Structure 1
Amino acid sequence: MVQYATTLVTFPSGATEGASAVLAVLALPAARAAADEPAGAPGPAGGMGLVVDTTPFHPVDHTWPDQPGDSGTVLVDGVAYPVLDTVTGALGPDGAFALGTDIPVRRGEESWSWLVVHVLDADAEIESAVGSNALLRVDAARRRALSAAHTGCHLTALALNEALAGRWRRAPGREDAFGRPDFDSIAMDSSRMDVHASTDRYRIGKSLRKKGFDPDGLAEALPELADAVNARLAGWIAADAPVRVEVVGGEKSAKLTARRAWVCELPEGTASIFCGGTHLERLGELDALHCSLSLSEDGTELVAVTVPKLR
């Protein structure tokens, strides 16, 4: 297989359209589900994979699949092809191609090329498109809904850290942007977004206790904690704080593999969380953001479901 440069991406700036040359059309294998998905959870279905030089499409991250890949259309030589999913692919120095969870190396391995793969129907007759110019259009309404869920997820993380700050018997050694114990990152088990909400699951076990967290009475305190979280979320939305995605480390790179962070100018100060997803541009785009908290019967899992309502 011909070697290609790592795909350049424009989704961090909020782009939903773009034009680019078609570099490759690949027959795709079906990727396995991520290790933390339920048994039988589907990976991207086999189909045709379109690779371009530069794309506005956001692919699902195979290592931390919190935000689904974009869908939309790609127009090539006057024919519109539905983009069913967008996934991460990688091309090794020996020319071997791998998709999703089949990728055998760490994300960003420099000897590999990292590709945004636009998944088309298996019957798409597009093999002759290599070298043509493609017009790429993301489903903007779906993207905005996913971005709202992802922005809401990060806001809930910060509000939850604040609400739980008094439960730490000692500093756990990891703090959030406001100097509070970072419960969200320390206890996080999984995070998933869809067009309706974000669902974050936290492990409440021996390891967290050893780090200094006190879960005693947590079940009884959930209503009060949820009220505190939602009050903070409402205040932040009312402040209409601006949001942006920044490349970390001063690197001015549009490469898919560049490390990025969600940054929000909240009234308390600038909040920053490492993130490879997409986001709203201002919190004022939200009419409301509501978080509900639940605890498993055995007390070992806390679940936060955050539902955004767009204006």
Structure 2
Amino acid sequence: MQIVFMGSPEFAVTILDALVAAGHEVVVAYCQPPRPAGRGKGERPTPVQLRAEALGIAVRHPRTLRDGEEQARFAALGADVAVVAAYGLILPPPILEAPRLGCINVHASLLPRWRGAAPIERAILAGDAVTGVTIMQMDEGLDTGPMLLKRELPIDGKNTGQATDELAKLGSGALLDWLADPTPPQPQPEDGATYAAKIAKAEARIDWRRSAVEIERQVRAFAPAPGAWFEVGGERIKLLAAEFADGGGTAGHVLDEALTIAAGDGAIRPLLVQRAGRSPMTPAELLRGFPIPIGKMLL
């Protein structure tokens, strides 16, 4: 089967690799254009571009698909199907209709729950014990197309990095199963639909007035990136892993030498932290070079 692949991050790389390993012909890979990154602000290609080039697959990264000339180039590929996984651009009708079997999306949620840009983070923040992947026939709406196949994944206790890796593998298997034995589409119910809005930078800042349950979810939702964080003496400290702890007190106060911190309800004990420009470390390693005394109020 001739496939156009459309994706950008590491999640999509896993799916691209699975298609190639299964013997499908990926004629072109579409992805987001390289963007400035790092201290030098040099342009960095997406993970999909790097992987596609290593596989010898032609890469295209238009900034829009609404241009008629770009749509004609896409249609000229004559693909059987387009597989989309976290691509990052809206597909207009001429693109959706060009492949013989249309455009199939690998979406990291159990639709109709968590339509939108950040389904994994939103599922963790909401305390969902189970999420999954949905193979979906794309339409003009935002993740509103008919469903082709769904698979579940328990995520209780997992962070976004762990869940993303597992969902990518789960989605790859589901996609290959559907391509080998297509099942008829089932319309999405509107009942239970939720929207997974893009993560705003301000959401990663920890508010110690919130409950320990909410803060622990926040830590997992933003690990490994962008990292939930708090401030000490004007320096930002990322909290990459944490657990619930006994104790309590005024929210934000350091309770003991293990850097246990009082929340609005309960307490949080950090397990992995990171200073700006440093590697992740344990709280004990942090405190050896960056003392935070008992009773300190954290912001």
Q: Which has the higher contact order (CA 8 A, sep 6+)?
A: 1
TM-score under structure 1 length normalisation: 0.26
User: Which has more radius of gyration?
Assistant: 2
Larger relative strand fraction: 1
What TM-score, normalized to structure 2? 0.27
